[in-house]
Amino acid sequence: MTLSYVPDDAFAHRLDPRSKLLVQVAFAVVAYAYTAPRGLAVLTLVAAGCLALAGGGPRDLWAYRFALPFLLVAPLVAGATPGDPWFDLGDAAATGLASYRVLLILVVAAAYVRSTPVRESRAAVQRTVPGKPGQFLGVGVALVFRFLPLLKRDLLSAREAMRARGGGERPLRDRMRIVAVAGINRAFGRADRLGTALVARCFAWNPTLPRLAFRRVDAPALALAAALLAAALLRVA
């Protein structure tokens, strides 16, 4: 399952993308301010609520399955010591909390991606950052959201093709090399076709983007972002 925009009538879908971005930023700030288990427990409820309001659920997190092994292994690596006592529970616990903090931020990001069309994300960036830098960032955001799922699909297709030809019996290093080379070749091919398509369509740095406007429905999201930022400031002070 690839994480992408899903049309829905959920609450988060009706929000201005800028209010959702503000909630993401505020959540990340407060997540790094409150690192104790009690604070992370409260933030877990907030993150789960954000995903639910976007019409999502645990299945949407499957798109992050490639990151989960690193988050799980990190505490084990941090706790390992070259000598007695061989494993430091304090270091492992601290890294485990940090990994869980990253997971919560990914959950909130999943809620944003699921509830926000690519054009609205680009419009939000260009409205926030003025001039050419904003246009450049807007184009970059749009291309990333559109092409990451395609590149991921290319890698999965290459792996399935290799297995269909008996490549699953090869050593791990050979399998990684075959999939990586095939993925890079397809990525360069997509980049060439993208460049040709942009030229053929007279690509413009400042196209007509959807109009954005804060409405009454954005009030809860803005209030949540303000509360999270205030909590982070109180913690720092």
- Residue recorded with tokens 């994300």: 121
For residues 103 and 219, membership in a common domain is answered with: yes
- Max Cα-Cα span within the chain: 66
Cis peptide before 85 (omega within 30 of 0): yes
Confidence of residue 47 (pLDDT cuts 50, 70, 90): very high
Angle between helices 37-53 and 89-115 (to 10 degrees): 20
Residue 4 counted as domain residue = no
Residue 140's H or E segment, with its range, is helix 131-164
Residue 179 counted as domain residue = yes
pLDDT tens-place string over residues 156-186? 787 788 778 777 777 777 777 777 887 787 7
Q: Is 174 helix (H, G, I), strand (E, B) or coil?
A: helix
For the cut 80, the answer to whether the pLDDT of residue 127 exceeds it is no
- Residue recorded with tokens 């196209």: 207
Which pLDDT score, from 0 to 100, does residue 168 have? 74
DSSP, res 209: P
Which pLDDT score, from 0 to 100, does residue 223 have? 94
pTM of the entire structure? 0.71
For residues 182 and 68, membership in a common domain is answered with: no
Domains contained in the chain, number: 2
For the cut 60, the answer to whether the pLDDT of residue 40 exceeds it is yes
Which pLDDT score, from 0 to 100, does residue 157 have? 81
For the cut 70, the answer to whether the pLDDT of residue 144 exceeds it is no
Residues of the domain holding 162: 130-200
